[in-house]
Amino acid sequence: MGNSDKTMNLYDRAGHPAPTAVDCGGAVFGGGEFQIIAGPCSVESEDQVIRIAKAVKAAGATLLRGGAFKPRTSPRSFQGLGAEGIRYLLEAKRETGLPVVTELMNINNIELFNDVDVIQIGARNMQNFDLLKELAAHTKKPVLLKRGFAATLGELLMSAEYLLEGGNPNVVLCERGIRTFSRDTRNTPDLVAVPVLHERTHLPVIVDPSHATGAARLVKPVACAAAAIGADGLIVEVHDDPAHALCDGDQSLTPGQFGEMVRAVKSILPNACK
Ligand code: PEP
Ligand code: MN
C-alpha cells in the first residue's frame, strides 16, 4: 500500500479516537494531563544541573530537561558533556525525583540512556529514519519527537509512525517553531499545529516556547498561548545564569521568571502539573 490519504496509520485519530496518555516516569502527558519539562539547554556541570533541577522543581516543573549530546550548528560550539552529562543529569534525578528528558543523536549511545525517562529526538533528526527505526527496535521508553524546522505536520506524523510501526507506542510530539521568512524571532511558533495535530492523531502534543521564539521575554506569552490552544505540556529552557550559559542563554528563563511562567500557565490550566 502506498502512503495515500486512505492508508490508515497507527497515529491516526480515526482508528483510535481516545487520546493516548504517555507515562513519562510517573508524569503523564495527554488525556487531560499537562506537564512542564524544564531545565538547561545543556548540562554544564553536576552542580549546575542539580541546582537548576531543584529550582525548577520548587517552581512547579514535573520533569527535568538537559542536553548531554548537543546538535550544534557550528563544530566549534560547545558539543555537550556526553556520557558525563548523562551521569550528572541522573544525579539530579536522584536528588529531586524528577524524571529526565535528554536528546539521543546516535544509537551507539543508547546504553547510556538506560535510566533516562524520556529520549528526545531533536528537530534536526526528525527525519533520520534509520535512527527512528533503530530506536524503536531498542526501546519502548517514551520518545519526545520534535518537529523539524522545515517539516510539515504530515511529515512529523510520518516520523512518529516509524516509532509506532517499530513497536514503540509511547510518542509525544513537540511543536518547537518552524523556519519562515520572519527574521524577528529565532523561529516562528506554529501554535495552530496543536489543534490540527489533535484532530489528526491521538498522540500527545507539547510546545517548546524557548526554541520557538529564541527570546526569554517571549517564552511566557507563548507558553500561555500553547496552554490556551490545547497543548498537553511544555518544554522550557531555564538557566540560573543565562548570560553565561554555554548554549541558548538568550532564550533561557531564570528560575524566578520560570516560576512566573508556571503561575501564568496555571491561571489558564489550574490542573497543570498535578
Ligand atoms: C533542544 O531541545 O535543546 C534542541 C536542540 O531542540 P531542537 O531540536 O528543537 O532544536
Ligand atoms: Mn536549546
Q: What angle is formed at CA 29 by the lines to CA 70 and CA 167, rounded to 5 degrees?
A: 75
238 C-alpha to ligand 2 centroid (Å): 10
| pTM of the predicted structure, to 2 decimals | 0.97
Q: Is-contact 177 212, C-beta < 8 A?
A: yes
pLDDT for position 274: 86
CA of 200 from ligand 1 middle (Å) equals 24
Q: Which three cell numbers stand for residue 230?
A: 490545547
CB neighbours of 104 closer than 8 A, spacing ≥ 6?
69, 110, 113, 119, 120, 121, 131, 135
Closest to 107 (Cα-Cα) out of 143, 81, 150: 143
Tell me the sheet residues that pair with 27: 24
Q: Which atom of ligand 1 has the smallest separation from the CA of 177?
A: 9
**197 Cβ contact partners less than 8 Å away, ≥ 6 residues apart:** 153, 156, 157, 173, 175, 203, 205
Take atom 10 of ligand 1 and give the residue whose Cα is closest: 123
Residues 6+ apart with CB under 8 A from 190: 175, 177, 178
Task: Tell me the three state secondary structure of residue 12.
Answer: strand
248, amino acid identity = D
Return the SS3 of 174.
strand
- The C-alpha cell of 166 is what? 517499530
The CA distances from residue 138 to 105, 167, 181, 193, in Å, are 14, 10, 39, 29
The number of angstroms, rounded, from the C-alpha of 215 to the middle of its chain's C-alpha atoms is: 17
Distance 247 CA to ligand 2 centre (A): 6
For ligand 1, atom 3, the nearest C-alpha belongs to: 41
Candidate of 79, 176, 190, 250 to mutate for ligand 1, largest count of ligand atoms within 8 Å of Cβ: 176
Please give the backbone phi and psi of residue 169, each rounded to the nearest 5 degrees, phi first.
-85, -5
Q: 4 CA to middle of ligand 1, Å?
A: 31
SS3 25: coil
Residue ranges lining ligand 1, Cβ < 6 Å: 41, 67, 71, 122-124, 146, 176, 208, 211
Whether the Cβ atoms of residue 236 and residue 261 lie closer than 8 Å to each other: yes
Residue 190 near residue 158 (C-beta atoms within 8 A): no
Sequence-ordered list of residues with C-beta below 8 angstroms from that of 75, at least 6 positions apart, any chain: none
CA 194 – CA 83 distance, rounded (Å) = 34
The rounded Å distance from CA 211 to ligand 2 centre is 6
Residue among 42, 81, 120 whose CB has most ligand 1 atoms within 8 A, to mutate = 120
pLDDT of residue 5: 56
Ligand 1 pocket test target in 81, 186, 208 with most atoms within 8 Å of CB = 208
For atom 4 of ligand 1, which residue has the closest CA?
122
- From 65, 146, 175, the mutation candidate for ligand 1 (largest count of ligand atoms within 8 A of CB) is 146
Residue 125 CA: nearest ligand 1 atom is 8
Contact assessment for residue 30 and residue 149, using Cβ atoms and an 8 Å cutoff: no
* Structure confidence at residue 7 (pLDDT): 80
Question: If residue 219 lies in a helix (H) or strand (E), which one and from where to where?
Answer: helix 216-228
C-beta of residue 149 within 8 angstroms of C-beta of residue 123: yes
pLDDT (0 to 100) of residue 1: 46
CB atoms within 10 A of CB 190: 17
Low-confidence residues in the chain, pLDDT < 70: 1-6
For residue range 49-63, list pLDDT tens digits in order: 999 999 999 999 999
